[in-house]
Amino acid sequence: MKNITLVVPVHNEEKNIREFFKETVKTSERLGPDYELSVLFVDDGSRDNSVNILESLSREYDNVGYLELSRNFGKEAALSAGVDNLDCDAAIILDADLQHPLYYIPQFVRKWEQGYDIVATKRRSIKKQPLARRLGSFLFYRILNTISEFKMEPGTTDFRLLDRKVIDALKDFKEKNRMVRGLIDWMGYKKVFIEFDAPKRNDGVAGYSYKKLFRLAFNSLISFSLFPLRIAGYLGLLISTTFGALLMFMIVDKLLFMQFGFTPLSFVVVANAIFCGIILSSLGLVALYIGHIHEEVVDRPLYLVRRQKKFNKNRRSVVLPEAAALLMK
């Protein structure tokens, strides 16, 4: 019997929780007796009746648990709280508003049984989303994938199954500014994508404002790439070399050809530009050090092991003496 836990962040979802729970019961039946499905709700500072509903659900059903955060920390923090408290063979992260249809879960589990560590999803249709949001998402992935060494697939969602080893690895990530989905993508492991159609939110309004989304996107860009830090340095190098070359040209012209008649002021202006370039390059140099500090502070694991085979210490070594005997002959 394998344990699968659904991790569900909840922020003002009083109208959706029971509906969501009904779906989990159906899913559990579809999965059959080989799997034990439980649900871990994480209440992220709801101001409506959500917590009371979670409390009564958890009293009614053994397979329902919940965490109540002390205030609203945001979905990423709520997910992390959920992940930190998991003890199961696999977990599935999904939204409480039924935009991540539980219908796909048996498919996730089949992929997992085939040996995939992460079953991730891609939205097939995002037509219902406003243009600004689609544009924002497009730009985010474009920029991130250009400037960062690691690639994130556009159109993916948080709706994912994670094997136990991925969950355990995720617990080791200590960084505060995080995008859980980005971290999971960063990790590697054996991953497969499933496409799905996201329906409209079941009830209520989306809690993610443009401001929050922008902050999330900006934070991810900064935490997955040091390129923004280096921009000043590159600009500085460009400016000082260009104007350095110009100054050389002006000096040569002044001393030998007298073609252009550069005024003393023009020399001052160009020299000044060179100094600006030098200052910017020094900023870039400082930024390189800050980048190192950033990496140390974030303290992301240096590597993750997917599988290992240990030595069998008790096995009698036969090869070495035989080889030695051969050599003695």
CA atoms within 13 A on the CB side of 243: 19
Nearer to ligand UDP by Cβ, of 13 and 23: the residue is 13
Q: Does position 97 bind ligand UDP by CB under 6 A?
A: yes
Shortest Cβ distance from residue 46 to ligand UDP (Å)? Answer: 8
Shortest Cβ distance from residue 44 to ligand UDP (Å)? Answer: 4
Shortest Cβ distance from residue 198 to Mg ion (Å)? Answer: 8
For ligand UDP, the binding residue among 64, 75, 186, 239 (CB under 6 A) is 75
Residue range at the interface with ligand UDP (CB under 6 A); choices 29-37, 119-127, 206-214, 270-278 = 206-214
Nearer to ligand UDP by Cβ, of 126 and 222: the residue is 126
Q: Does position 182 bind ligand UDP by CB under 6 A?
A: no
Q: Does position 10 bind ligand UDP by CB under 6 A?
A: yes
Shortest Cβ distance from residue 240 to ligand UDP (Å)? Answer: 45
Q: Does position 14 bind ligand UDP by CB under 6 A?
A: no
Q: Does position 85 bind ligand UDP by CB under 6 A?
A: no
Q: Does position 9 bind ligand UDP by CB under 6 A?
A: yes
Q: Does position 244 bind ligand UDP by CB under 6 A?
A: no
Structure tokens at 289: 């050090």
Nearer to ligand UDP by Cβ, of 39 and 280: the residue is 39
Q: Does position 102 bind ligand UDP by CB under 6 A?
A: no
Nearer to ligand UDP by Cβ, of 94 and 232: the residue is 94
Q: Does position 219 bind ligand UDP by CB under 6 A?
A: no
8 Å CB contact between 54 and 80: no
9 binds, among Mg ion, ligand UDP, none (CB under 5 to 8 A by kind): ligand UDP
Phi, psi of 278 (to 5 degrees): -65, -40
Shortest Cβ distance from residue 88 to ligand UDP (Å)? Answer: 20
Shortest Cβ distance from residue 209 to ligand UDP (Å)? Answer: 9
Count the residues of the shown chain that bind ligand UDP, applying the rule CB under 6 A.
Answer: 17
What is the three-state SS of the chain? CEEEEEEEEECCCCCCHHHHHHHHHHHHHHHCCCEEEEEEEEECCCCCCHHHHHHHHHHHCCCEEEEECCCCCCHHHHHHHHHHCCCCCEEEECCCCCCCCHHHHHHHHHHHHCCCCEEEEEEEECCCCCHHHHHHHHHHHHHHHHHCCCCCCCCECCCEEEEHHHHHHHHCCCCCCCCHHHHHHHHCCCEEEEEEECCCCCCCCCCCCHHHHHHHHHHHHHHHCCHHHHHHHHHHHHHHHHHHHHHHHHHHHHHHHCCCCCCHHHHHHHHHHHHHHHHHHHHHHHHHHHHHHHHHHHCCCCCCCCCCCCCCCCCCCCHHHHHHHHHHC
208 binds, among Mg ion, ligand UDP, none (CB under 5 to 8 A by kind): ligand UDP
Contact positions toward ligand UDP, by CB under 6 A?
9-11, 13, 44, 72, 74-75, 78, 95-97, 99, 201, 206-208
